[in-house]
Amino acid sequence: MDEQFKDEVTKRFTRAWTERRGIESIDRNAQVVLVKVPLNQLSDALAAKAIASQRNVMGIEIEVSSAFVFAYQLVGHSWSIMIPGVGYPPILQSSELSQLSKQLKQPIIDLFVSDTGGTIGYNLFEGGELVEYFRGSDGESTDDANEYEIQPQRYVLSPYPDEDFLDDDLEEDKEPEPQQTAYFWSLHRQLTAEEIGNIWDFTNQFLVEYDAFDPAIDSSYLLGEYSLKRGNRYRIQNPGFTLVFGYGTDGRRQEITSVPDLARVDYFKFEN
């Protein structure tokens, strides 16, 4: 690997977590709920709805026996974050998030990302109502707007460069130009296809403009296991993210690790 490129990658990978905004990684399947309140305020609201809760659980073991969520906050960030564990707790439903935005009197961003499905999207709730909606997909897709009783505009985007064509000179040799499909609705703004541009960049920029950050921390990260099994016990941890450059001449892995600066992690259990 070129040393200059390696240095650039290392600098970005280890940049301060307090300064990061947008979406850290789209290489995953996740729902992430960002709430613009201090963690104590979010946790108070969640504890009132949960059947059990515990705060500051880093290093503690939990038994996976019911639907649950984690709530946490990064040092230097104004948004708290809620992520699902197993099951689908009712607090993650759109109607609940809408009411939570009214209760807390602050915006809530419900973010969805799927690398396997090639999709990304978000709902923005303010004051107890949906104020902005976005769904995007690599290729053709459908939207779920009926759930929200809205009529989003459909966009066909062509965000990829012309070199995706086999031969610019031979019309019959051309492959169809890669496209993205997007659906957008907002109470406060209208957008053109050019302003959306690319579904991934658009969603990332949306979070940046709200001074919000999705650090790609999910329950698998916190529990050290990708596939969680009910009845098993897991210890909550913060191992950091590791980037592997390859192997040196001595056979050792060349890697660097960046550990998110978590202010605290709280746990909330719900009925199935």
Is residue 167 exposed (0-12), middle (13-18) or buried (19+ Cβ within 10 Å)? Answer: exposed
pLDDT at position 163: 47
pLDDT at position 86: 83
Residue 71: CB atoms within 10 A of its CB come to: 24
Is residue 201 predicted with pLDDT exceeding 80?
Answer: yes
Alpha carbon separation from 69 to 20, 43, 47, 254 (Å, rounded): 23, 11, 11, 35
Among 27-31, 70-74, 169-173, 199-203, the range scoring the smallest mean pLDDT is 169-173
Distance CA 255, CA 100 (A): 41
Is residue 38 predicted with pLDDT exceeding 80?
Answer: yes
Which tokens go with 71? 């709530």
Which tokens go with 258? 């960046």
pLDDT at position 253: 79
pLDDT in tens, 125-156: 999 999 999 999 998 888 899 899 999 999 99
Which of the four pLDDT bands, split at 50, 70 and 90, describes residue 175?
Answer: low
Which of the four pLDDT bands, split at 50, 70 and 90, describes residue 170?
Answer: very low
pLDDT in tens, 57-91: 999 999 998 899 999 999 999 999 999 998 889 99
pLDDT at position 54: 97
Which of the four pLDDT bands, split at 50, 70 and 90, describes residue 256?
Answer: very high
Task: Please check whether residue 17 is in contact with residue 261, taking contact to mean a CB–CB distance below 8 angstroms.
Answer: yes
What residue segments make up the domains of the chain, in order of their start? 3-269
Distance CA 271, CA 138 (A): 36
Task: Please check whether residue 73 is in contact with residue 142, taking contact to mean a CB–CB distance below 8 angstroms.
Answer: no
Find, among 260, 215, 183, 211, the residue nearest to 107 by Cα: 211
Which helix (DSSP H) or strand (DSSP E) does residue 264 occupy? strand 262-269
**Average pLDDT over all residues of the chain:** 91
Alpha carbon separation from 215 to 33, 114, 170, 225, 268 (Å, rounded): 12, 15, 45, 18, 20
Distance CA 149, CA 146 (A): 5
Is residue 27 predicted with pLDDT exceeding 70?
Answer: yes
Q: State the alpha helices, DSSP H only, in the chain.
A: 3-13, 39-47, 94-104, 193-196, 199-209, 219-223
Higher pLDDT, 122 or 88: 122
Which tokens go with 111? 């973010």
Distance CA 94, CA 33 (A): 11
pLDDT at position 247: 76
Is residue 167 predicted with pLDDT exceeding 90?
Answer: no
Which tokens go with 41? 């305020």
